[in-house]
Amino acid sequence: MTAETALTLADINLNDETLFESGLSHEAFRILRRENPISWTPAEERIKGHWNLVKYEDVLQVSRHPEIFSSERGIVQYEPINPEDATQAANGNGKMLITMDPPRHVKLRRLVNKGFTPRAVAAMEPHIRQITRKLLDGIAAKGECDFVLDVASQLPLAVICGMMGLEDKDWPLMFQLTNKVLGAGDPEYQTDVPEDQRGTDEAARATGNMGTMQMFGFFAQQLMNRKEHRREDLISLLVDSELDGDRLSDEDILWFCFLLILAGNETTRNGISGGLVSLFEHPAERARLQADMSLMPSAVEEILRWVSPVTHMARVALEDTEIRGQRIAQGERVVMWYPAVNRDEDVFPQAQRFDITRTPNDHLAFGIGEHFCLGAGFARLEMRVMFEELFTRFPDIELNGPVERLRSTFIGGIKHLPVRFSPER
Amino acid sequence: MKVVVNADKCEGHGKCEKAAPAVFKLGDDDVSRVLVDDVPESQRGQVDAAIRLCPRQAIAWERP
Ligand code: HEM
Ligand code: SF4
């Protein structure tokens, strides 16, 4: 045991964002899997309690029964006791693909999913490679950079903004606003709040709400513009789509845009940056990969398992039910912890080993079933192309300072990742 | 026994084809087709694996 494993069952509080920021969460999950696989986090002053799922089979059970475990009351762990404490984003509960239950869910998904199938994704590879090369051109002469700001965040941003038909000039704003919404709890993004008030729950709420409202303002403008001039993009497609014979409402379309820009940006970014950190931390695996780049597809899967860029999704039980013999009452919230199930010793042999050739590797980083990640194909492709190009061009890239993690229980994020490499001349 | 793919859910991930190549085939439209009416005893295990692995939970045994 290392020095930092002084953590005991009694200390574990999965509402504590700093547990994730510090990286101690993996140790907490290891203890929970062994000692308390279904644990209850009690209510706090303003938020309800919830069940924590850390075993693979339990997350399968919940994901496979959307008729029992609903997404419509929100997919994050926090549910305010007092409805007045709800965030702006919570107004999207029941209105977004990700917060919608059957039977409407699959109908909405079918409006867009042809653009996300393996075939559609494969057709985008040359374009994604071109964007990646341009990004690497931008850092090549410098010999060092913040890999998150200059590279890892920029590829997913360009891809999703491109699909939505947003102009280059708006991309930095999208980066800023998605940080505010999904990084609301991190003082670095609480720039609308006076400095001495940052780091509080109030500051987090204000930041998330500000980001959400600004996003809506922005997309309302885009929508107006598409209604006048259709283009070849997802927003135009939604404008012309029908569900059960009706056009989508403006509100439906705006929530869809909100979901796509967040889901497309804040996840793959951390798959790329978290992947690079994992490879830095496992030099033998990295050397194996660099010696044989044909291992890239399985390396990407192992990175997804290891990093689990989305930390949790939650559901609410619609009826009294049972998981692993534990009674779950109607109305109670269950939280599926992806980094925990992806290292479940009962499913993955040598689960604590980072092995870029692991097969089989049926990790749940993208969830499974009804809400299986719509963008999984793009995320995998972006990660593969990025690492192929990066290691071809900068084979000696290495860490050049401290890795700064996001303070969040929802996104396993990296904010800053200083790297250095031999510059190109 | 008969197995069915729900075409509304299937998004062409192809895990089924890998798990049970004699039973499933991905069409040009990115939707998986079932190749046999009655899955032979010897392939039922493979189909169970496909059901388990399908990311969209689109495959099921047809209840008689
Ligand atoms: C490594 C990157 C990514 C990870 C780890 C990830 C993870 C996830 C997870 C775990 C879910 C399941 C939600 C649930 O069960 O409640 C999900 C859903 C979703 N993801 Fe991703 N995602 C990634 C990238 C992307 C990208 C690039 C896009 C868009 C281009 C995207 C769009 C979506 C959408 C729209 C949903 C909702 C699907 C539904 O509810 O039917 N994701 N994602
Ligand atoms: S694994 Fe599922 S989603 Fe993929 S092709 Fe087969 S049936 Fe379709």
Give a yes or no: residue A250 inside a domain.
Answer: yes
This complex has an ipTM of 0.93
- Report the nearest-CA residue for atom 18 of ligand 1: A373
Ligand 2 nearest atom to the CA of residue B19, by list position: 1
The secondary structure of A10-76 as a DSSP string is: GG--TT-HHHHHTTTHHHHHHHHHHH-SEEEE---SSB--EEEE-SHHHHHHHHT-TTTEESTT-SS
- Ligand nearest to the CA of residue B15, numbered in listed order: 2
Amino acid at the residue A20:
F
Contact indicator for A339, A26 with CB cutoff of 8 Å? yes
**pLDDT at A165 > cutoff 60:** yes
What the block records as the tokens of A226 is 């598409």
Task: Tell me the C-alpha distance between A248 and A238, whole Å.
Answer: 7
Q: Is residue A341 part of a domain?
A: yes
Cα distances from A304 to residues A61, A78, A150, A206, A308, in angstroms, run 21, 25, 21, 32, 5
Contact A298, A53 (CB under 8 A): no
pLDDT at position A6 is 77
Is residue A418 within 8 A of residue A144, CB to CB? The reply is yes
- Domain harbouring A367, CATH code: 1.10.630.10
Task: Answer whether residue A425 is part of any domain.
Answer: no
Residue A119 CA to ligand 2 center (angstroms) comes to: 13
Mean pLDDT of A371-392: 98
Q: Which residues pair with B33 in a beta bridge?
A: B25
Contact A93, A425 (CB under 8 A): no
pLDDT in tens, A99-155: 999 999 999 999 999 999 999 999 999 999 999 999 999 999 999 999 999 999 999
Q: Is A337 in the pocket of ligand 1 (CB under 6 A)?
A: no
In angstroms, the CA A405 to CA B16 distance is 38
pLDDT at residue A4 above 60? no
Q: Model confidence over A41-66: pLDDT tens digits?
A: 999 988 999 999 999 999 999 999 99
Q: What angle do CA A218, A310, A319 make, to 5 degrees?
A: 95
Kindly report which listed range (A1-10, A363-372, A393-402) carries the lowest average pLDDT score. Answer: A1-10
Residue pair A278/A307 in contact by the 8 Å Cβ criterion: yes
**More reliable by pLDDT, A77 or A1:** A77
Nearest by CB to A64, from B12, B30, B57: name it: B57
User: Averaged over A354-382, what is the pLDDT?
Assistant: 97
* DSSP one-letter code for A205: H
Q: Looking at ligand 1, which residue's alpha carbon is closest to its atom 7?
A: A366
| Residue located nearest, by CA, to atom 2 of ligand 2 | B54
Q: Please give the radius of gyration of chain B, using alpha carbons only, rounded to the nearest integer.
A: 10
For residue B17, the ligand 2 atom closest to its alpha carbon is 6
Q: Is the pLDDT of residue B64 over 90?
A: no
Percent of chain A with pLDDT over 90: 93
CATH number assigned to the domain comprising residue B23: 3.30.70.20
Number of domains in chain B: 1
Range of the domain at A236: 3-420
Name the closest ligand to CA B18: 2
HSE toward the beta carbon, residue A322, CA cutoff 13 A:
3
Residue A85's pLDDT band (cuts 50, 70, 90): confident
Whether the pLDDT of residue A2 is over 50: the answer is: no
Best of B26, B52, B57 to disrupt the A interface (most A CBs within 10 Å) is B57
pLDDT value of position A425: 79
Other residues' Cβ atoms within 10 Å of the Cβ of residue A178? 25
Is the pLDDT at A1 greater than 50? The verdict is no
Q: Nearest Cα to A109, choosing from A117, A76, A153? A: A117
Question: pLDDT tens digits, residue range A73-83?
Answer: 999 999 999 88
Containing structural domain, residue B25: 2-62
Q: What confidence category does residue A286 fall into, taking pLDDT thresholds of 50, 70 and 90?
A: very high
pLDDT tens digits, B46-56:
999 999 999 99
Q: Around Cβ A232, how many Cβ atoms within 10 Å?
A: 8
Total structural domains in chain A? Answer: 1
What are the pLDDT digits (tens) for A168-184? 999 999 999 999 999 99
Average pLDDT value for residue range A316-335: 98
Structure letter (DSSP) for residue A411: B
- Give the nearest chain B residue to A65 (CA atoms): B57
- Residue A291 neighbours by CB distance under 10 Å: 8
The rounded mean pLDDT for chain A is: 95
Q: How far apart are CA A319 and CA A332, in angstroms?
A: 9
Is the pLDDT at A3 greater than 50? The verdict is no
Alpha-carbon gap, residue A57 to A128, rounded angstroms: 35
pTM of the entire predicted model: 0.96
At A5, the pLDDT band (50, 70, 90 cuts) reads: low
Nearest to A409 by CA among A47, A160, A6: A47
| Look-up of token digits 């010897």 | B42
Chain B: closest CA distance from residue A110 (Å): 7
pLDDT at A19: 94
- Cα of B36 from ligand 1 centre, angstroms: 33
Q: Which residues of B touch A117 (CB under 8 A)?
A: 11-12, 30
Other CB atoms within 10 Å distance of the CB of residue A104: 14
Closest CA to ligand 1's atom 3 = A267
Contact B56 A369 (CB under 8 A): yes
